[in-house]
Amino acid sequence: MKLGLALVYLVLIGYAVFTIFPVYWLVITSVKDAFELSMVPPTLIPAEPVSQFYYELFAMRHFGELTTNSIVVGLTTAIVATFVGAIFAYGLSKLRVLSRRPKNAILLWVLSLVMFPPIILAFPYFFMLSVINLTNTLAGLVIVYLTFTTPFAVWTMKGFYDEYPLDIEEAAMVDGASRSQVFLRITVPILLPAMVTVLIFCFIFCWQEFLYALILTHDYRAQTVTVGVFGTISKWEISWGRIAAAGTVASLPVIALFLILRRSVVRRMTFGVVKG
Amino acid sequence: MKAERYVVIPFIVLPTIFLVVISVYPLAYSLFLSLFRGLLDQFIGLKNYADMLADRRFHDAVYVTLAFTTITVGLEVLLGLLLAGSLILSSVERKSWWQTVYIVPMAIPPVVSGVIWKILYHPSFGPLNLLALIRMPVPDPLGQPSLALLAVSLINIWMWTPFAFLVFYSGIGAVRQEIIESALIDGASKVQIFRSIVLPSLRTLILVVIFWRFTANLTAFDEIMGSTEGGPGFTTTTLTMFAYWIGFKSWDLGYAASAAVYLLLVVAVVGSSLFGRLGIVRE
């Protein structure tokens, strides 16, 4: 019995080390100077941490702008996606005009929109954005990012509406209020916290996105943080400190958001299939 | 409730149109592009699709994609079961603490995960150089063609095992947990409980994980771009990366689009065959 528990701890601790060590290594690499970086064996605790690489990123490599871009694109996309998702999901969950069958068909169709490979949209968007002069703009990225955040918002909001007993709505409608009034005055205020969760997840997905941003932007006016990280990898002059610093800047904010939301992570990332 | 009928317009019709415009139309456009050489240069019908089937690089990319997906999803499910089983079947303290630690890799942008492991795998700046101290040959996992695919698979496993673990662990539910606990108190062996209670309860959840990870890993790109960029040679070039190179480096968007359409077909076949068994839309 005792031995069993020791084994379990060994597995759990071993996996925890496997999980955390790479992140720890990233952070310490970002604060080691060139001399310390080349030491064998490598130091586990940086002897003299330097902030030089962070300074380089923000002073010379536009990381301030890239971070702002990621935040602006992420927030705008998240707000629009949550807005559309809240409305659409309400229609699919509460309106009785459509019967279940067409509603389920629409839901499946919405789900299928996030399942298809992102690259297949990259080609048409590359062409279409250049036609309407939105290549290398934040607005262009927002449009493309809505393609994966909106379906997520629809599914997640649908889950919230289905669970929440909104009997109070019926009462208001009997009193003569219209659907739109009920939605805006009653439903939205009640489900506001749920919407904030959806919004934060949409933001995280945008912050993590790389493929579209790599293809559809080409300088700091529209590039996002993930593209900035990739940009620090150069074939000619490799600065591991700078690469690691960029990786740290791109990771820590989302790790923080994730830990705050940890209770709903499973549920949201399976589109509500698994109730956490 | 006659008024309800018009409410359909803002609540269903307009959002549908919105999604059709941003997603379905570009998808159709991609199909259209795939019928041309270059960027709408010359209409060639289905020639891209035929050429693709005879293209050695495409065969390699299909192999890499399928091998990568099978390895990663298989190990993610197994490791997820191991971790979830360990927590479910033991009296370990602070169970939620472990969950918190394990979800960290899911938060990191996948391209950054690729970069992190590129640093870790580096023969002289990563921890691997410890091997030199004990006079062992230091491997270069991302540089050796025989190791690279396994090395990038490990990155994906690092990123997504937490997902499998979380689905299993929180999906099993409080009721089952109690049954398991009382079985433990009654003295049933852990192996017995795992086989007769835990695994059967997890059957659907295992399918859920396979469904999400299989369809997603088939389209892997970010973590590979962050680490090997598809190399050495084409040993880690997945279908998405292959389409990316053809489209944006050789500038044959039509040919690249046809590769993406093949990928879409694979994802659709796998996705829909698994989806039917999930019972997601229950009502």
Q: Any idea which residue has 């996030």 for tokens?
A: A114
Residue A43 confidence (pLDDT) above 90: no
In tens, the pLDDT along A107-160 reads: 889 988 988 899 999 999 999 999 999 999 999 999 999 999 999 999 999 988
Mean pLDDT (chain A) is 88
When CB atoms are compared, the residue of B15, B40, B244 closest to A84 is B15
CA–CA separation, A58 and A211 (whole Å): 23
- Classify residue A179: in a domain, yes or no: yes
**Are A165 and A118 members of one domain?**
yes
- Dihedral over Cα of B264, B270, B271, B272: its sign: positive
CA–CA separation, A254 and A37 (whole Å): 27
Burial class from Cβ neighbours inside 10 Å (0-12, 13-18, 19+) for residue A165 reads exposed
In tens, the pLDDT along B107-126 reads: 999 999 999 999 999 887 78
Nearest to B256 by CA among A120, A144, A166: A120
HSE-CB for B181 with a 13 A CA cutoff: 10
- Classify residue A165: in a domain, yes or no: yes
Highest mean pLDDT among A35-44, A139-148, A181-190: A139-148
**A150-to-A79, A85, A120, A157, B186 alpha-carbon distances in Å:** 10, 6, 18, 10, 49
Contact B121, B113 (CB under 8 A): no
**Are A101 and A194 members of one domain?**
yes
CA–CA separation, A224 and B222 (whole Å): 14
- Classify residue A140: in a domain, yes or no: yes
Contact A211, B222 (CB under 8 A): yes
- Classify residue A276: in a domain, yes or no: no
3-state SS, residue B283: coil
How does B3-15 read in b/e, with b if 16+ C-beta sit within 10 Å? eeeebeebbbeeb
Residue A51 confidence (pLDDT) above 80: yes
The reported pTM is 0.93
DSSP state of B127: G
**Are A114 and A242 members of one domain?**
yes
**Is the CB of A88 less than 8 angstroms away from the CB of B39?**
no
Nearest to B89 by CA among B195, B8, B17, B2: B195
Interface contact B193, partner A, CB < 8 A: no
**Are A154 and A24 members of one domain?**
no
**Is the CB of A211 less than 8 angstroms away from the CB of B267?**
no
Q: How far is CA B10 from the centre of its chain?
A: 35
**Are A20 and A95 members of one domain?**
no
Contact B215, A115 (CB under 8 A): yes
- Dihedral over Cα of B61, B66, B69, B74: its sign: negative
Highest mean pLDDT among A27-41, A53-67, A140-154, B130-144: A140-154
In tens, the pLDDT along B227-281 reads: 999 889 899 999 999 999 999 988 999 999 999 999 999 999 998 888 877 765 4
**Is the CB of B106 less than 8 angstroms away from the CB of A258?**
yes
The nearest alpha carbon in chain A to B281 belongs to A104
- Dihedral over Cα of B213, B217, B223, B228: its sign: positive
The nearest alpha carbon in chain A to B130 belongs to A41
Lowest-confidence range among A122-126, A262-266, B80-84, B262-266? Answer: A262-266
CA–CA separation, A217 and A234 (whole Å): 18
**Are A131 and A244 members of one domain?**
yes
Q: What is the pLDDT of residue A1?
A: 54
Count CB-CB contacts under 10 A for residue A264: 17
Mean pLDDT of B24-30: 95
Q: Confidence class of residue B129 from pLDDT cuts 50, 70 and 90? A: confident
Contact A127, B261 (CB under 8 A): no
Q: What is the pLDDT of residue A270?
A: 66
Contact A153, A82 (CB under 8 A): yes
Q: What is the pLDDT of residue A271?
A: 67
Lowest-confidence range among A12-16, A72-76, B270-274? Answer: B270-274
**Segment holding A23, helix H or strand E:** helix A2-30
In tens, the pLDDT along A231-259 reads: 988 766 678 889 999 999 999 999 999 88
Q: Confidence class of residue B60 from pLDDT cuts 50, 70 and 90? A: very high
**Are A23 and A143 members of one domain?**
no
The domain of A142 spans 64-269
Q: What is the pLDDT of residue A4?
A: 77
Q: Confidence class of residue B155 from pLDDT cuts 50, 70 and 90? A: very high
Residue A220 confidence (pLDDT) above 60: yes
**Are A72 and A185 members of one domain?**
yes
CA–CA separation, B79 and B84 (whole Å): 8
Count H helices and E strands in chain B, helices first: 16, 2
Q: What is the pLDDT of residue B31?
A: 95
Domain count, chain A: 2
**Are A88 and A149 members of one domain?**
yes
Q: What is the pLDDT of residue A275?
A: 62
Residue A97: which CATH number? 1.10.3720.10
**Is the CB of B115 less than 8 angstroms away from the CB of A22?**
no
Residue A174 confidence (pLDDT) above 50: yes
- Classify residue A58: in a domain, yes or no: no
A181: which residues sit within 8 A by CB, 6+ positions away?
Answer: A172
**Are A70 and A144 members of one domain?**
yes
- Classify residue A51: in a domain, yes or no: no
Contact A118, B267 (CB under 8 A): no
Lowest-confidence range among B190-199, B202-211, B265-274? Answer: B190-199
Q: What is the pLDDT of residue B3?
A: 59
Q: Could you tell me which residue, A4 or B211, shows the higher pLDDT?
A: B211
**Segment holding B37, helix H or strand E:** strand B36-37
**A83-to-A98, A164, A240, B188 alpha-carbon distances in Å:** 21, 18, 41, 51
HSE-CB for B10 with a 13 A CA cutoff: 13
**Is the CB of B166 less than 8 angstroms away from the CB of A119?**
no
Residue A60 confidence (pLDDT) above 50: yes
Residue A272 confidence (pLDDT) above 80: no
Q: How far is CA A221 from the centre of its chain?
A: 21
Q: Where are the domains of chain B?
A: 36-275
Nearest to A172 by CA among A162, A183, A188, A163: A183
- Classify residue A101: in a domain, yes or no: yes
**Are A17 and A124 members of one domain?**
no
In tens, the pLDDT along A90-105 reads: 989 888 778 888 888 8
CATH for the stretch B36-275: 1.10.3720.10
With beta carbons under 8 A apart, name residues in chain B contacting A225.
109
Count CB-CB contacts under 10 A for residue B213: 23
**Are A102 and A31 members of one domain?**
no
Q: What is the pLDDT of residue B2?
A: 54
**Is the CB of A19 less than 8 angstroms away from the CB of B104?**
yes
HSE-CB for A217 with a 13 A CA cutoff: 29
Residue B156 confidence (pLDDT) above 80: yes
CA–CA separation, B245 and B143 (whole Å): 20
3-state SS, residue B42: strand
Nearest to A37 by CA among B115, A18, A48, B114: A48
Residue B282 confidence (pLDDT) above 60: no
Assigned token pair, B18: 């919105």
Mean pLDDT of B176-186: 81
When CB atoms are compared, the residue of B79, B107, B248 closest to A254 is B107
Count CB-CB contacts under 10 A for residue A2: 6
Mean pLDDT of B55-81: 96
